[in-house]
Amino acid sequence: MQDPKFRFGRDDVIYRHDGGESIPADEPVVFLRGKDQVTVLAILKYIEVMEQFPDSKLAREHAESMSERLRVISLWQVRNPDRVGMGCHSCADPSCREKLDLN
């Protein structure tokens, strides 16, 4: 389930779901995948930073959006533990993947 804020065009352009401006082709973008073991930690930290700006409507909206993504990704990880970790979990070569000890 991809982020509902965006849609991905056939032309490899990322569009806002509401038909707004596309992300400029020269703007760097990063994806945090559900399978990535530390995605949840990264999202939690992002939310923590946004919450430091309680008077900002946009910061609150970003925190709310990321909280929704956190819920979806956390649930997916619980339901798919064999697909969660670092690296490529579908590759035949086991050296391409690992699980980090986060405890």
pLDDT tens digits, 48-96 = 999 999 999 999 999 999 999 999 999 999 999 988 988 877 777 777 7
Q: Which residues pair with 8 in a beta bridge?
A: 14
Residue 24: per-residue pLDDT: 86
The pTM (predicted TM-score) of the whole model is 0.80
Q: Do 65 and 59 touch, CB atoms closer than 8 A?
A: no
Q: Do 12 and 29 touch, CB atoms closer than 8 A?
A: no
